[in-house]
Homo-oligomer: A and B are copies of this chain.
Amino acid sequence: MTNSAFLRVLNGERVNPPPLWIMRQAGRYLPEYRELRTRAKNFLDFCYSPALATEAVLQPLRRFQLDAAILFSDILVVPDALGRKVWFVEGEGPRLEPLIGEEHWRFDEVERAIQRLAPVYEAVGRIKGSLDANTPLIGFCGGPWTVATYMLQGQGGDKERARRVAYERPLDVDRLLDLLAEMSARHLAEQVKAGADCLQIFESWAEGLPPLQFERLIIKPTQKLIQRLRQIGVATPIIGFPRGAGAEISNYAQRTGVTALGIDTSVPKILAPHGMPVQGNLDPLLLVVGGTALESGVRDVLERFSGAPHIFNLGHGITPEASVENVARLVDLVKGRA
């Protein structure tokens, strides 16, 4: 796949204009996705249907000239596969039975969990078979701490409860992070075996941690995950996206073993080691607002990261309120056609 600008950038090459994809590009801002979504009775069933997941991945590629596809799935298939109950409340988000009493702190074997995720790997294979030869496919998982926060709290939002348990039950939480690092490495390896060309680790909740806890909850589990993945023999590039890492972003880039750094909306300049590819970081709100604000936002991102191998993306997932016209305009602006 030597013609993929996306993979060339991940290999350290500067490409102009930069390749582009959009976090959550298969999503609710697309009317055809909203229609497709009605064909499964709930969100997890949708993720576990290889046919529906494949169609969802292809939808945005038919509309826009995007330089990568990403598996349609969810970071919470991992706790689901480990035997924790996961469900999605329409319009609110995911819910899990939180880890409180001893009876909750029990997880199924990794081997068995990986078997349960067979439909995900089947989807990867189908998607890969449906993409044209020059469109790379990104596989993904959540960062161990991000997945753990959902498991500890039972939902997203404020991370205080998860952080508190991390202080109060240090051994249990460290063991959980070890399990998630192992499970995530295996999950990513299976995605690569099924056809993924690149991997992204979504550490959506890297924010608000004191440095000792950032080291313990973000850096170390990510190191373990990536070391294990390399040990299994997976050599594909890995984009780490520690959203909200703030002043810790360089530390994350330098020490976790990621190939490339995903940067959130608030990161002002290149904070990755020299030559490391960066991916980001347009404010997703600009795809709602449009107009000259979108234009100057895109120009600003292009200028700020022109000194690094750069993959254009948003600083966070596209929102349901974004307009299809603004996405088309974004693609034109990045490709220099506007």
Contact = CB atoms under 8 A, between A and B. Distances in A.
A98 interface: no
Nearest to A163: B285
Given A285-B160, A289-B167, A212 B266 contact: no
Interface string A207-229: 11111111000000000000000
A130 interface: no
Interface in A265-295: 265-269, 271, 281-283, 285-286, 288-289, 293
A293 B168 CA distance: 8
Contacts of A283: 163, 210, 213
Contacts of A265: 208-210
Nearest to A246: B246
Contact of A208 (B163, B266, B268, B297): B266
Interface in A222-259: 244-249, 251
A207 B268 CA distance: 12
Contacts of A245: 246
Given A246-B244, A246-B247, A247-B246, A285 B167 contact: yes
A322 to B, nearest CB: 12
- Is the interface on chain A under 10, 10 to 19, 20 to 34, or 35 or more residues? 35 or more
A296 interface: yes
Contact of A268 (B160, B248, B285, B288): B248
A300 B212 contact: yes
A245 to B, nearest CB: 8
A281 B209 CA distance: 11
A216 to B, nearest CB: 11
B164 A285 contact: yes
A304 interface: yes
Contacts of A209: 265-266
B167 A266 contact: no
A315 interface: yes
Contacts of A207: 207, 244, 266
Interface in A123-139: none
A211 B300 contact: yes
Interface in A64-111: none
A196 to B, nearest CB: 30
Interface string A14-28: 000000000000000
Interface string A295-330: 011001000100000000001000000000000000
Contact of A296 (B163, B208, B212, B264): B212
Given A167-B293, A211-B266, A246-B246, 8 more contacts: A164-B289, A168-B289, A207-B266, A208-B265, A210-B300, A211-B300, A245-B246, A246-B247
7 contacts: A163-B285, A164-B288, A167-B293, A208-B266, A211-B266, A213-B283, A214-B266
